[in-house]
Each structure stands twice: as C-alpha cells, then as structure tokens.
Chain A
Amino acid sequence: MIEDVGTRRFGVALRTRPRNRALLAGVLAGLVLWQLLSLLVGATTSQGQNVVPPLQQVLTTGITGLSHFYKGGWGPETTLQGAEDSVPLAALAVLQNSLATLVRAWAGYLLAVALGLPIGLAVAAVRPLRQAVSGIAGLLRMLPVLAMSPLFALWFGATTTASIAFVTFGAFWVVLLATANAVNSLPAPLTEYPRTLGLTPLQISIRIVLPAILPALRGALMLAAGTAWACVLASELYGIQSGLGWALNQTLLYTLVDQMVVVAGVFAGLSLASLRLVNCVTGRLTGWSE
C-alpha cells in the first residue's frame, strides 16, 4: 500500500489541536511544576498564605472557600445566612458566576459578530465609509481596548449591559476590520460571475461574499472570541457584583491565592471551551474549503 508521506508529514506539522494524551501530559507537567514551586517559594501574603499555595491547599480550601461567592436564590442558604463552606456550595458559586460571565461574553461576542459582519461588508463596498472607518480604527488601535473598561462602567453603570457593551466594543473592531480586509482580498471574478448570472447586490453579499470570506475570517473570529473573554474579565473588575472577573478581583483584594488559582482555572477552562466551540462551528461552516 502506498502511503502519501508528504501529506502525512504536512498534516502532522499543521496539527493545531493537541492530542488528548499530550494535553493531559502538559497539564500533569504543569501541576508537578506548580507543586515544586510551592515548595521552593517561601514568600507569604499578608494573610499568611503562601504566594504559590501547594496543590492540596488549592484543592481543599481553595475550592470550599469559593462558597462565599454564592449569592443565593438557587435554594441553599448563603454563607452570609449562616451556611458553612462546602464543596456543593462552592460548586453553586462557580456555576452562578460562570453563567453570569458566559452570558456577558457570548452576548457581547455574538453582538459584535452580528454588527461587524454586515458593517464590514458595507465598509468594503463604500469607499468613503472605508476611509472613515480606517481613520477611526487607526485611532483606536493606539488605545489599549482594556483601558476603555472603566469608561463603559461610567457610561452604563455597574451593570451587565455595560459588560456586554464593552465586550461588543472590543470584539467588534476585530470582526469589522477582518471582514473589510477579507472582502477586499476576494478575486474579482468571484463577484463578477454572479453579477452576470443576474444576482442582485444583496444576493451576492449573502450568497457569495459572506461564505467566500469565511475561511479568511476564521482566524479573526477566534481572535475576536479571545478579545471578548479578555474584555469580559476587565468589565467585571469595575463595580459589578457577579461573574468570574468579580470573584477573581475579590480573591485579589483579600489575597486568597488558593481561591484565585481555582477561579482563574475555571475562567481559563471556559474561555478555552468557548474558543474550541468557535473553532468547531467555523470549521463546519468552512468545511467545503478543506
């Protein structure tokens, strides 16, 4: 049997999704390294906690300590109402705050895509609009997006609306600019051909241009999802009383390093899962090109 060695090698070289075993090995190596660091680093916080707490502490008090982030309303009493720290209460706390963050991140991201795609198409088609937007984008590029977070809290208050608006703002520009660039990079016959078949400009935008740019847009949609997660974290640092960003900020305020590690791990897991989902969906939509 003849094996296409070139293709196989190329396939391996281009593999971006680590095999499960490799992923597991990486996680285990990280945990071992963490444990070693906790033994080597002796510095403590003002609360007397090791700045690199050992794994057994992270997996015990780091988890149960999250119970006080549970805000009630789902049945069990809160720690403020007298409940003791426990794993189930901590699980509820993680679930409650994860949901809040997930809703903000995904609502903002989907809104950014829903706005960025059509406006990007319009920007690519209308030269004055393109010039105007490139001017604004050039200005905004000089400003770190995350630095705008307090401004949104000021404008919209410490609300979920502010958080969603900020996430939308952060991810919108990524989608918009990538869409406009992708449209401008399309070969001319791809849009001229349907014109000679009698398709209207709207039909060409929806049936031809949008699917044609998706492969080029896939990376930008992933980047926008990453930006959305960075933005949601930043937005939850200012005044909002829920979400993983808020919980993380609280652990920082009280230097509860073991809890901080757990919250950061949950956040990283959720953002990674979200990126995987975006990758999977865009992969399915662009399956024709592979």
Chain B
Amino acid sequence: MNAFEIRGLTVQYQPGITPLKNLDLDVPNGQFLCVLGPSGQGKSTLLRCLAGLLVPTEGVIRAQGKPVEGPDASRGMVFQQDAIPGWLRVRDNVALGSRSTDEQVAHFIRAVGLEGREKDWPRQLSGGMRKRVAIAAVFANDPDILLMDEPFSSLDHLTRTGLHETVLQLWEETGKTIVFVTHDVDEAITLADRIVIVGRGGVRADVPVTFPRPRGENLRMDVDANLLRAALLESLK
C-alpha cells in the first residue's frame, strides 16, 4: 500500500490562479520524498492538501488507502513558520500531540538533542532549537506520514546541516514516510530518496536519488551529484 495516492488533484483559488491542475502522484511507504519547485508553483498547496488543511477543487487523495478528509494525527506537519506554542515549555510542547506517550516524548527530546532543555520556554531557544522542538513533537505523536513545509528555509547553513542529520537519523530509525517541500536543490539532493519537481500545475520531473548515505558535504565534489544538480536546476527554469 502507498502512503499517498493522488489522482487528478486540482486546486483553483480563483479563476486564473490554479497552482495544481490534474496532478497524479504515488508515494510509497517509508520513502523520503522531496518536492522541489520555484516559489508560487504549488508545493505548499500540495502539502496542505496532503495534510487535509486544504480541500482540493477536484481530485482524490488517499493516505494509507483512506481518503483524506481533514487533518488528523496520522499525518504530522512541520511548518515553515514558527508554530510551536510559546506558552508551553519544551517538554509540554513535545507532548502536545494526542498520541504522544511519556516514553516517546523523552526519547525524541533526547533524539533531537534537547535533553536538559525540557523546562525552557521556546523564547529561550534559538530558531534551530525551536525547529527541533517541532520535529520532536511531530515524531513523538507517532504519525504514519510526516509533512515538512520548507522547515529550515530561515536557518543558517550550519544549523540546517545539523537538522538534516537529525531528520535523516529519525527517519532511518522510525521508517516513516516523509514528504519534504523545499526550493533548495542541494537540500533535496542531501535528503531525498526521490525528488519530484512541481510546476505549471503538475509534476514536471520525477527523479530517484540513489547516492549512498550519509551524503553531506562530499556530495558537492561528486560528478553524478553535480550532473543531477544541473539537471534539476534546468527543470526548475
């Protein structure tokens, strides 16, 4: 069974503004899929539809075989903006989800490197640490699928690299399906099993990424990786 089966997905905000038109896509379970695309081409719209936060104009989305009819705990989401409640301390934030257990909360606080900061307020944390809280909260809630909407776009290079490692580590540990939206080609190559480029309403390119992990900085010197980067950048034009 696929994590997602998307058929004929169309979203029209108003006549003339149709970011997604008749999009078909399957996402197998356990895959790390990166959705790449220029700004305003429907990446976040697609993710919001997958989360159930946006009702498509036409088409069907099935998650684990069931039609998506609204947001629920089986599809956790990490947002681009800071969305963690500022009035909950780190531990309470990670324990916010309806499915989270004390053991899971403690485990994922450790896993994202926030051990010892459980009693801190979010305002006492850096932007990167707040993202770690959001990631831990979503994993601790044990969803089947994780949706990540440009979660690291506002962070510096070093912080992003650290978070990439954390997300990959958690993904490998839990085997969850991840759909990760980004406009950064290097980020997509570093993280993904598969990259889908969304644009002009549909899927413009669908590319498997087979480089061995960990990929990191050495991928910058790899000829095949550079060829893929060039091809992806060409597809984005």
Residues of A at the B interface (CB closer than 8 Å) are 187, 189-190, 192-199, 203, 207-208, 211-212, 214, 286, 288-289
Contact = CB atoms under 8 A, between A and B. Distances in A.
A199 B98 contact: yes
Given A195-B70, A197-B96, A197-B141, 11 more contacts: A187-B81, A189-B81, A193-B77, A193-B79, A196-B53, A196-B72, A196-B76, A197-B98, A199-B97, A207-B96, A212-B85
A199 B83 CA distance: 14
A43 B98 CA distance: 73
B138 interface: yes
Nearest to A210: B87
Interface string B76-93: 110111111111000000
Contacts of A212: 85, 87
Interface in B72-127: 72-73, 75-77, 79-87, 96-99, 121-123
A176 to B, nearest CB: 22
What are the 10 tightest A-B residue pairs by CB atom distance, in nearest-first order?
A198-B73, A198-B98, A197-B97, A189-B83, A193-B83, A195-B71, A196-B77, A189-B79, A211-B87, A288-B87
A207 B72 CA distance: 17
Interface of B: 51, 53, 70-73, 75-77, 79-87, 96-99, 121-123, 134, 137-138, 141, 147
Residue of B51, B71, B84 contacting most chain A CB atoms (<10 Å): B71
B83 A197 contact: no
A243 to B, nearest CB: 38
B64 to A, nearest CB: 15
Contact of A192 (B79, B87, B138): B79
Nearest to B71: A195
Contacts of A203: 98
B76 A289 contact: no
Given A192-B79, A197-B138, A208 B73 contact: no
A195 B76 CA distance: 9
A187 B83 CA distance: 8
16 contacts: A189-B80, A189-B82, A190-B83, A192-B77, A193-B79, A196-B51, A196-B77, A198-B73, A198-B141, A199-B98, A207-B96, A212-B85, A286-B87, A288-B121, A288-B122, A288-B123
B85 A196 contact: no
Specify the main secondary structure of chain B where it touches its partner.
loop
A104 B84 CA distance: 40
Contact of A211 (B51, B76, B85, B121): B85
Nearest to A286: B87
Residue of A190, A193, A195, A203 contacting most chain B CB atoms (<10 Å): A193
Contact of A289 (B70, B75, B86): B86
Given A189-B79, A192-B53, A288-B121, A197 B73 contact: yes
Nearest to A214: B87
Nearest to B121: A288
A252 B39 CA distance: 70
Contacts of B73: 196-198
Contacts of A211: 85, 87
Contacts of B51: 192, 196
A195 B79 CA distance: 12
B4 to A, nearest CB: 15
B224 to A, nearest CB: 36
Contacts of A192: 51, 53, 71, 77, 79, 83
Contacts of A289: 86-87, 123
Contacts of B96: 194, 197, 199, 207
A84 B127 CA distance: 71
Nearest to A285: B87
Nearest to B89: A288
Residue of B53, B80, B141 contacting most chain A CB atoms (<10 Å): B53
A192 B81 CA distance: 11
A286 B87 CA distance: 8
A288 B98 CA distance: 23
Nearest to B72: A198
Contacts of B83: 187, 189-190, 192-193
B88 to A, nearest CB: 8
Nearest to B141: A197
Residue of A189, A203, A212 contacting most chain B CB atoms (<10 Å): A189
